[in-house]
Amino acid sequence: MSIQVQVRRGTETQRQTMDGGVGNPAKPLAGELIYTTDQKLLYVGDGTTTGGNPVGGGSGTTNLSTTANATSLTVNSDTGNNASIPAASAIAWGAMTDEDKAKLDGIAASANNYSHPNHTGDVTSTGDGATVIANNAVTAAKLGSDTGYTVSLGNVFLDFGSIV
């Protein structure tokens, strides 16, 4: 005597509509098998769960979503096994916050943190590093005042004093 076992078959989308609603197939009976032809997974009915329960420890599809706040990112699982990832810090890996991302977006490519100082007086410079000697800032007196040498700019006469 042979025993015939009938298994309900269909796609995953069709299985998810087995709720007995208007135009939908009835919920699987307790012990009834359902096989998804597109995902090649087996489910067993319990009489109350739409589409049955996965066979083999619940290795069916898990739907994930995320929820973020100022200090962490939570990966939500429809199976209830959520994971929380803290915000990254200077000493710990983690998720990037929207404030961190906005700050990074504001930094130009190849930028550095050096600012050239500005100088004033006879010799001036600007933040771009350009240095300019003011007109009439170099005088004979300034050239010779600290050196002990005599400087004449008129006839270009240099007196280096005595060479010992």
Domains of the chain with CATH codes? 8-54 (2.10.10.30)
Edge-to-edge strand ranges of the sheet holding 64-68: 64-68, 72-77, 83-86
Among the listed ranges 76-85, 128-137, 151-160, which one has the minimum average pLDDT value? 151-160
- pTM as predicted: 0.36
pLDDT of residue 15: 93
Dist. CA 44–CA 52, nearest whole Å? 5
pLDDT in tens, 72-111: 888 988 777 788 899 888 898 889 988 889 999 999 888 8
> Residue 95 and residue 73: Cα distance in Å, rounded?
7
Question: Is residue 104 helix, strand or coil?
Answer: helix
**Band of pLDDT at residue 152, cut at 50, 70 and 90:** low
